[in-house]
A and B are shown apart, each in its own frame.
Chain A
Amino acid sequence: MLRYISRRLLSILLSLFLIITATFFLMRAAPGGPFSGEKKLPPEIEKNLNEYYGLDRPWYNQYFDYLVSIAKWDFGPSFKYKGQTVNDLINDGFPVSFFLGMESLLLAVSLGILLGVIAALNHNKWQDYGAMIFAVLGISVPSFIMASLLQYVLAIKLGLFPVARWESLQHTVLPALALAATPMAFIARLTRSSMLEVLSNDYIRTAKAKGLSKGQITVKHAIRNALLPVVTYLGPLSAAVLTGSFVIEKIFGIPGLGSQFVLSISNRDYTTIMGVTVFYSILLLFSVLLVDIAYGLIDPRIKLAGGKKGE
């Protein structure tokens, strides 16, 4: 186990190094310098700015400095917001995004599993078809369309929820739902197919023969075993929630890191784009690792020593 984790950590570090290097050189190759706005700056000022941000030094120095500062968890200053660092932006925005993400994760997992189990228990009945139509909808509708429709119908037309902003728990319902829709659909499909597989196993028949009630069989024997594939999906799920948040936060006017990221894209705020990308990558890589470890703990049949994904 320890060997496995240290191996994984090493490969995570390699991936991170690759990401940081790629972001660094991509951003250097990006058209237009950080200060080339509408107005042409006087050369003296530009020189001063370049000096201040260390942009006049050779690239390998800059690159090395960047690696060192990221190792110290310092993402540097924002080029568009004077006086703010990327760390400030992350510290401000991330708690909001984290709350929203957790809420929709919870929604996606609980509702998804519920739908999947109902569908599998009523295989080929209307509940099954209903749940699967719902799941297909969730998979085929892009998140920004889903979010706009939810906002339009439930908030603007019916007035059931606040339209936008981030104030009370009520404000979080619609964005969390919109964010959860696609992953929920995936989980429902996954749960359904693995439930169906588990239900056809011999030990279920044994349990029935022993005279256990349907509820006991479902909860104690079927669901527990059917949930394993769902656990593996948690890694990609966190990625989906994270990238989904860019769009959802923008639509619902939520001051999270996702909307900040989108803003920095349209502002071409290179240091922020770099910093947030690296931050998100770290987050994702470690959540995938956590999921893999959890998977090994839940199902002792899985051997972690191989250390290869997808096997």
Chain B
Amino acid sequence: MQQFPKEMFQPASVDLSEAEKISKPSLSFWKDVSIRFRKNKLAMFGLILLVLLVFMAIFGPHMTKYDYSTNDLMNTNKPPSAEHWFGTDDLGRDIFTRTWYGARISLFIGLAAALIDLFIGVLWGGIAGFRGGKTDDIMMRIADILWAVPYLLLVILLMVVLGQGLGTMILAMTITGWINMARIVRGQVLQLKSQEYVLAAQTLGASTSRIMFKHLIPNAMGPILVTLTLSIPSAIFTEAFLSYLGLGVPQPLASWGTMASEGVQALQYYPWRLFFPATFICLTIFAFNVVGDGLRDALDPRLRK
């Protein structure tokens, strides 16, 4: 065995200041989230897709010389060509123009419904969670009872009674749509309100609404954002479903739902009339879903599968 004389050993220098140094740049929570999100290829793909879709919804209808509602009975049911990029429908309307015009309406319905749900849900869930006790009991009981009402049946019923239209459709969707958001916000608030910083804010005399909007809601933003992203495609889905039942936006307005349900009827002879709106419905729903999933994974890495 080899011998190690004592002289070979040296005391290691311990530099206490070294241990305090931060080797990585400090990241805020949202920066961290965005880094994780950007690593997720599928979610990034979905995000790019969404940006493209929104871009086309804004500029698409102006790229052609046609109008979304002008009939051209000399050119009905034309297949895609240089004249009409996506072909024309049974009234000779240009499908390219209508598709992007429909994108505006479908995306608007999705966004509007989701934002109204967000507004009501955050208020309702926030108050219920923060107040607790009897208030919480009563508010959540009401939400539970409304939640049991079958969503699509109620929406159909409302559409039948209120009549077709953009506003009524959004109203019908949001009448029970906010409950999901309210539950999630309530759960978050219940969890967060016992944290020390809330107590600190209370001791410093902050008002309830300040605690709510400055402390609780921002900290619950992650789950709220995910729920928001995932509720947009379900609104677009509902819109398509209602259109198929003949309860969609009235003519000559075009939404993807109404275009697809007209296209379904003409599928055997003029398949392009279904192909374009259907493809974009699917792409949009797909994109929102992967972005939502990606956001959830990025916000809470423990959940990542």
Chain A residues in contact with chain B, CB under 8 A?
11-12, 14-15, 18-19, 22-23, 26-27, 29-31, 136-137, 139-145, 148, 152, 156, 192-193, 196-197, 239, 242-243, 246-247, 251, 262, 265-266, 268, 273, 277, 280-281, 284-285, 288, 308-310
Which 8 A-B pairs rank lowest in CB-CB distance, beginning with the nearest?
Answer: A15-B148, A140-B286, A140-B285, A243-B152, A140-B282, A148-B264, A30-B161, A144-B244
B161 in contact with A29 (CB, 8 Å): yes
Task: Check A136–B153 contact: CB distance below 8 A.
Answer: no
**Which chain A residues border B305 with CB–CB below 8 Å?**
192-193, 196-197
**Chain B positions within 8 Å of A27 at CB level:** 161
Docked pose: A141 CA to B279 CA in angstroms: 9
Q: Distance (Å) between the CB of B211 and the closest chain A CB? A: 24
Interface string of B142-163 (1 = CB under 8 A from A): 0011111111111011101101
CB-defined contacts of A309 to chain B, threshold 8 Å = 144, 147
Range, interface on chain B = 35 or more
Q: List 8 A-B contacts (CB under 8 A).
A: A136-B286, A140-B282, A142-B241, A144-B240, A145-B281, A145-B282, A148-B264, A281-B149
Within the complex, the shortest CB–CB distance from B139 to chain A, in Å, comes to 13
Question: Nearest Cβ distance between residue B179 and chain A, in whole angstroms?
Answer: 10
Known: A12-B148, A14-B145, A27-B161. A145 touches B245 (CB 8 A): no
Asked whether, in the complex, the Cβ of B146 is within 8 Å of the Cβ of A18, the reply is yes
How far does the alpha carbon of A310 sit from the alpha carbon of B77 in the complex, in Å? 49
Query: What residues on A are CB-neighbors of B285 within 8 Å?
Result: 139-140
B86 at the interface (CB under 8 A from A): no
- Closest B residue to A157 using CB positions: B268
From B150, B160, B241, A239 is in contact (CB under 8 Å) with B150
Is B138 an interface position by the 8 A CB rule? no
Q: Is the interface of A mostly helix, strand, loop or mixed?
A: helix
Q: Are A148 and B161 in touch, CB under 8 angstroms? A: no
CB distance from B209 to the nearest CB of A (A): 27
- CB pair A284–B286 under 8 Å, yes or no, is no
Contact B246 A266 (CB under 8 A): yes
Q: Taking each of A12, A144, A266, which has the highest tally of chain B beta carbons within 10 Å of its own beta carbon?
A: A144
B interface secondary structure, majority? helix
Given contacts A142-B281, A145-B274, A281-B150, contact A265 B286 (CB under 8 A): no
Query: Quick one: closest B residue to A276, CB to CB?
Result: B153
The reply to whether the CB of B216 lies closer than 8 angstroms to some CB of chain A is no
Assuming the A-B contacts A30-B161, A193-B305, are A18 and B149 also in contact, with contact meaning beta carbons closer than 8 angstroms in the complex? yes
Interface pair B161/A11, CB less than 8 Å apart = no
Give complex CA distance A197, B305 in Å: 8
A268 in contact with B237 (CB, 8 Å): no
Q: Give CA–CA (A199, B200) in the complex, Å.
A: 42
**Given A142-B237, A142-B260, A280 contacting B150 (CB threshold 8 A):** yes
Give the residues in chain A near B231, CB-CB below 8 Å.
Answer: none
Q: Is B199 an interface residue (CB 8 A)?
A: no
B245 touches A246 (CB 8 A): yes
**B160/A30 in contact, CB under 8 A:** yes
User: CB-CB < 8 A to B105: which residues of A?
Assistant: none
B152 touches A308 (CB 8 A): no
Knowing A14-B145, A285-B148, the reply to whether A265 touches B161 (Cβ < 8 A) is: no
Indicate which residue in A26, A246, A247, A310 contacts B161 across the interface (CB closer than 8 Å).
A26
Contact B157 A26 (CB under 8 A): yes
Contacts of A148 in B (CB 8 A): 264, 267, 274
Whether B227 is near chain A, meaning CB under 8 Å from some CB there, is no
In the complex, chain B residues whose CB is within 8 Å of the CB of A242? 150
Across-interface contacts of B183 in A (CB, < 8 A): 310
Bound complex: CA of A285 vs CA of B151, how far in Å?
12
- Residues of A within 8 Å of B274, CB to CB, are 145, 148
Q: Check B264 against A145 for contact (C-beta < 8 Å).
A: yes
Whole-angstrom distance from the CB of A221 to the nearest CB of chain B?
19
Name which residue of chain B comes closest to A242, CB basis.
B150
Cα distance A19–B261 in the bound complex, in angstroms: 29
B140 at the interface (CB under 8 A from A): yes
Q: B161, A262: Cβ atoms under 8 Å? A: no
Taken together as a complex, chains A and B put the C-alpha atoms of A11 and B281 apart, in Å, by: 37
